[in-house]
Amino acid sequence: MMENKTAYHNPVMLNECLDGLAIRPDGVYVDVTFGGGGHSKAIFSKLSSNGHLIAFDQDPEARQNAWVAPNFHFIPSNFSYLKNQLRQLGITQVDGILADLGVSSHQFDADYRGFSIRHEAPLDMRMNTNASTSALDVVNHYSENELAVVLKKYGELKNAFKVAGKIAQYRSSKIIESTTELMKVVESCAPKLKQNKFYALLFQAIRMEVNKEVDVLSDFLIQTAECLKPDGRLVVISYHSLEDRLVKNYMKRGSLNGEITKDFYGNLLKPFTELNRHPIVPSEEEIIENSRARSAKLRIAYRNE
């Protein structure tokens, strides 16, 4: 029985994702970022009793949104283990895979999780609350240079080394424990009139490092080629240029770094063909209704024969 808990998370570009998956009622589909179950519920509603939906989420709080049905399977796991988890269910290939990357609305709004700049909270930011490394560890125990690299790479902060220096100087006498304390430490580095954007990028960088989001996405993408049937659909929503670049490279060229590889006969070695050459972006109406959709980019591809 499915319960409607849409308050947990408002699914981004829902209709576009459903169209991209080209759902067959008796097909097998995977939502690797279950969250509030918004996308999953919509996919499940299009399946017959012969169709199956497998949902992944590493966040223990997401499990409350799962439902019980013979053809629905919730897997409390990081989606970097896609292939192994499917094999444990006796499944080798599926008809479609959906990934809505980043943080769910619930994770942002749950003040105790430390994802948002709007709330005072412990420095946590773990998508899997059982994981060993938190934002507290990254902020307080990374070397000044390691921290600067993280802020530059994942937050694209132009003054990353200055910010890392401020953090290192402060923590030499006191551990930085909360989100508001961190913002206070680096407030002199925030550009005037753009403070909120600066803090959001700072938090994004730390969060992506805590959860190893780029590594997880890379592992996942490589597995999709083996896990999808010929003509199976891969549908991915990303919110960060680094993530979108990985998705684009893999769909377009079959490699994460964008290099083109060929076989002995000169044929391109790429498992996917893009359905949309340029990313699909949300409508103005959707952005007004759901601000989280603002930076979303949707890419769709099908598995080659």
> What CATH number corresponds to the domain at position 184?
1.10.150.170
Residue 7 — very low, low, confident or very high, per pLDDT cuts 50/70/90? Answer: very low
Q: How many residues are given for the chain? A: 305
In a domain, 123, yes or no: no
Boundary of a domain, candidates 146, 178, 210: 210
CATH number, domain of 298, equals 3.40.50.150
Query: What is the per-residue pLDDT for 3?
Result: 47
Helix H or strand E segment including 245: helix 241-253
Say whether both 223 and 201 belong to one domain: no
Mean pLDDT, residues 20-34: 98
Long-range own/partner contacts, residues 107-113 (CB < 8 A, 24 or more apart): 107/59, 108/292, 110/61
Residue 97 — very low, low, confident or very high, per pLDDT cuts 50/70/90? Answer: very high
Query: What is the per-residue pLDDT for 9?
Result: 57
Say whether both 13 and 98 belong to one domain: yes
Say whether both 139 and 99 belong to one domain: no
For residue 188, give its domain range: 132-210
Q: What is the DSSP letter of 122?
A: B
Distances 105 to 73, 211, 273 between C-alpha atoms, Å: 23, 17, 31
- pTM (global) more than 0.85: yes
Say whether both 35 and 184 belong to one domain: no
Say whether both 199 and 162 belong to one domain: yes
d(CA 139, CA 175): 9
Contacts of residue 50, Cβ cutoff 8 Å, sequence gap at least 6 = 25, 26, 71
| Segment 113-141, tens digit of pLDDT | 999 999 899 999 999 999 999 999 999 99
Say whether both 16 and 141 belong to one domain: no
